Amino acid sequence: MKINILLFDKFETLDAFGPAEIFGKAQEFELDYFSVEGRTVTSSQNVSVITKPITEAKEDSAWLVPGGEGTRSLVHDEDFLLKLKQLAQKSKFCLSVCTGSALLAKCGALDGIRATSNKRAFEWVKTVSQKTLWIEKARWVVCEKFYTSSGISAGMDMALGFVSDTLGKNRATEIARRIEYVWNDNPEKDDFSVN
């Protein structure tokens, strides 16, 4: 399965590369990095990544949308949101980490979908769409083809959950051991929820 990671300036590094580390341990997944224009994109932590333009992506791919400081301006970028909605509609699966769910919600991809986001930014995230069914207490949420996670490191738990759902729980456990990561495999256990 192709897993495409959609990057933009001021994305949160671990949002993208935590899941990438996990997906990269499964030979069934092939990772690629895209941006709308196809250029060098720089994270909030000053990590630069050379990306391909989204026009080169296969339609039946899975997409991962990270969060980060850059989402605050992108929720007002109509061209970006239109392209994101098209990607989400054509995707096989669509995953988001942290405030990446705000982008998916704003473009309308999460209308009527249960979703979560970073709890420190949750009040802001809820304002971008009244049509998303926001779940306040969740490490990650699966609804139809959408996987949304809470803040930053929660994306790694969600990524392992995705591996478990698509390749089996033993495979997810094996990958967690291989990277010496303690997997919170219960999506409802959210120690960072304000509730």
Contacts of residue 65, Cβ cutoff 8 Å, sequence gap at least 6: 6, 84, 94, 95, 96, 97, 100, 101, 103, 104
Q: What is the pLDDT of residues 17-59, one digit of tens each?
A: 999 999 999 999 999 999 999 999 999 999 999 999 999 998 8
Domains and CATH numbers, the chain: 2-178 (3.40.50.880)
Distance, CA of 190 to CA of 171 (rounded, Å): 23
Exposed, middle or buried by CB within 10 Å (0-12, 13-18, 19+), for 97?
buried
Contact 151, 66 (CB under 8 A): no
Residue 19 Cα distances to 6, 49, 112, angstroms: 12, 16, 26
- Chain centroid to Cα 175, Å, comes to 19
Q: What is the mean pLDDT of residues 89-99?
A: 97
Element (H, E) at 127: helix 122-128
Q: What is the pLDDT of residues 110-148, one digit of tens each?
A: 999 999 999 999 999 999 999 999 999 999 999 999 999
